[in-house]
Amino acid sequence: MRHSQTNDGIGHVDFVGAGPGDPELLTLKALKAFERADVVLHDRLISTEVLALAGRNAVLVDVGKAGFGPSWKQEDIDALLVSHAANGQHVVRLKSGDPTVFGRLDEEIQAVQAAGISWTIVPGVTAASAAVAGIGQSLTQRGRNSSVRFLTGHDMKGFADHDWTALAQSGSVAAIYMGKKSARFIQGRLIMHGADRATPVTLIENASRPDQHVMATTLDQLPDDLIAAEMDGPTLMFYGLEPRNAVTALTQYKKEHA
Amino acid sequence: MRHSQTNDGIGHVDFVGAGPGDPELLTLKALKAFERADVVLHDRLISTEVLALAGRNAVLVDVGKAGFGPSWKQEDIDALLVSHAANGQHVVRLKSGDPTVFGRLDEEIQAVQAAGISWTIVPGVTAASAAVAGIGQSLTQRGRNSSVRFLTGHDMKGFADHDWTALAQSGSVAAIYMGKKSARFIQGRLIMHGADRATPVTLIENASRPDQHVMATTLDQLPDDLIAAEMDGPTLMFYGLEPRNAVTALTQYKKEHA
């Protein structure tokens, strides 16, 4: 194993965005961090194609907190980051998409900083950008929406009435991360706050990957269609957006990946 | 000039995100599009370091709509995209950051699609992701904000009361693009809707570039501090975020770029 010791024998932690899955959506900076890495601690959802780009000598550790394998606690991940870096290693902490968007980055930064270890954030392409590209749309559009919200389905139960009211307005657009399990709740709250049942909702499973799957529905049909679609992969949900031209977008995507 | 004609003699348009300015924040997919390009139509704000990565034989055209040079109308840009692609060329339409975020992408897609020309969107790292990385923070954080909004200062005058009310709540975080000229207006509306005058506001000029400049202020002091700072470059404003540790973040950034 390579040891890239700094002058004081202390390593470094790069918190790196892996992008949405397509390895070509990695940045050059992420690749450079990979090349320097002694160890890569990665989430469960990172694609094997992305992991294949890590340096030959880097040790890959799956610290995913979900799934069927042994479950990692946040404090264990924090401790592993610190122990490797304190040992003089260059650590890449690889997170899906952009690490600053629903990446639970802060606990890890605090642990690393408290140990006196230097760190950097390497931003990445977030899932919403890749997913919206996959349906040929923009997150914002003049005359339609001058703002866009990124939400997570996990936390929407804590939303206040004014949030729901703002979201329920015609023309609102939101990218909802990890929203599948909350779909029925989200639907109920939005309709309660005046949202049009015909508002388009689009789900993109495995955005940017060869097995990308797009489902266009409406707020009214969302829960039923979601059950029928049986989406198992990471899925981004757009509230207020429909595919520009589902056939064209998918054809482009497949041509691009042929 | 190279002509990469397809079977039917029709070219192709890639709408490509150039990232926030650091050429290392380009994706591999953007670089590939560059290599295929016969012509690159780019915005004014694209850094020279990024443009230097375009293929040797590609013709670069600055179609920036602001500044001191001749001003391009949207319809002229649309026509140029179509005429090059109809001529069998591979066209890269290069936009700062992610083309789907305040990129005025839709008019151009409509023009290209109407002409029967194939197109693809290559997502990029948006300015908000790079800027928040530069101050060592996350766009979202458990226990602080479960959602983040991307806004543009240009259009906030059309905001309804419920939008301002939601934004004015404690813990709200928003990334405001092109917000410098609207800073006093934004301050006034937020305070009118109950925002705390001590809410942190951070401005990042030239995010991810060697001349990145961070200014931490409060909602109360924002307009005065903004005038004093004389920020001329592209600037992203975070409402509700302060630098984790301005000195550390900048030191990391400079070390990374040394």
> What b/e string do you get for B12-31 counting C-beta neighbours within 10 Å, with b at 16 or more?
bbbbbbbbbbbbbbbbbbbb
Pair of tokens at residue A135: 């349906």
Which residue in the set B19, B100, B160 is minimally distant from A139, CB to CB? B100
CB A197 within 8 A of CB A220: yes
Answer yes or no: is pLDDT of A224 > 70.
yes
Cβ neighbours of B255 in A, within 8 Å: 118
Which residues 142-171 on chain B approach chain A with CB closer than 8 angstroms?
Answer: 142, 146-152, 154-156, 158-160, 162-163, 165-166, 169
Q: Of A126-140, A170-184, A230-244, B6-20, which range is least confident?
A: B6-20
Specify whether B43 is catalytic: yes
Residue B7 pLDDT:
42
Residue B252 pLDDT:
47
Report ipTM (2 d.p.).
0.90
The rounded distance, in Å, linking the Cα atoms of B138 and A168 is 26
Residue B88 pLDDT:
95
Architecture of domain B127-257 in CATH?
Answer: 2-Layer Sandwich (3.30)
Percent of chain A with pLDDT over 70: 90
Distances (CA, A) of A68 to A40, A99, B25: 20, 23, 34
Pair of tokens at residue B159: 């905001």
Q: Do A148 and B146 touch (CB under 8 A)?
A: no
Q: pLDDT band at A59, cuts 50/70/90?
A: very high
Whether residue B193 lies within 8 A of chain A, CB to CB, comes out as no
Residue B185 CB contacts under 8 Å (≥ 6 apart), including other chains:
B156, B157
The rounded distance, in Å, linking the Cα atoms of B135 and B157 is 28
Domain A12-122 superfamily per CATH: Tetrapyrrole methylase, N-terminal domain (3.40.1010.10)
Residue B145 pLDDT:
86
pLDDT per residue as tens, chain B (258 positions): 232 344 467 899 999 999 999 999 999 999 999 999 999 999 988 988 999 998 788 999 999 865 555 678 899 999 999 999 999 999 999 999 999 999 989 999 999 999 999 999 999 999 999 999 999 999 999 888 889 999 998 878 778 788 899 999 988 999 999 999 999 999 999 999 999 999 999 999 999 999 999 999 999 999 999 999 999 999 999 999 999 974 444 444 445 544
Residue A220 pLDDT:
97
- What average pLDDT is seen over chain A? 88
Tell me what the mean pLDDT of segment A157-181 comes to: 89
Residue in the block written with tokens 């990979």: A34
Residue B72 CB contacts under 8 Å (≥ 6 apart), including other chains:
B63, B64, B65
Residue in chain B lying closest to A254 (CA) = B120
Q: Which of A16, A74, A98, A107 to mutate to test the interface with B (most CBs of B within 10 A)?
A: A98
Residue A156 pLDDT:
80
Specify whether A65 is catalytic: yes
Host H or E run for residue A29: helix A28-36
> Structural domain boundaries of chain B?
12-122, 127-257
Residue A98 pLDDT:
98
Phi, psi of B175 (to 5 degrees): -100, 120
Question: What SS3 class is residue A104?
Answer: coil
Residue in chain A lying closest to B29 (CA) = A24
Q: First vs last Cα of chain A: how many Å apart?
A: 37
Tell me what the mean pLDDT of segment A171-194 comes to: 95
Residue A154 pLDDT:
82
The rounded distance, in Å, linking the Cα atoms of A85 and A137 is 42
What would the pLDDT profile of A111-148 be if each residue is shown by its tens digit?
999 999 999 999 999 999 999 999 999 999 988 888 99
Walk across the sheet containing B174-177 and list its strands: A213-218, A200-205, A235-239, A174-177, A147-152, B147-152, B174-177, B235-239, B200-205, B213-218
Whether residue A10 lies within 8 A of chain B, CB to CB, comes out as no
Which residues 36-95 on chain B approach chain A with CB closer than 8 angstroms?
Answer: none
Residue A155 pLDDT:
78
Q: Do A146 and B160 touch (CB under 8 A)?
A: no
Query: Whole-model pTM?
Result: 0.91
Tell me what the mean pLDDT of segment A38-60 comes to: 90
Cβ neighbours of A159 in B, within 8 Å: 146
Closest among A166, A224, A158 to A193, alpha carbons compared: A166
Q: Which of A7, A14, A15, A29 to mutate to test the interface with B (most CBs of B within 10 A)?
A: A29
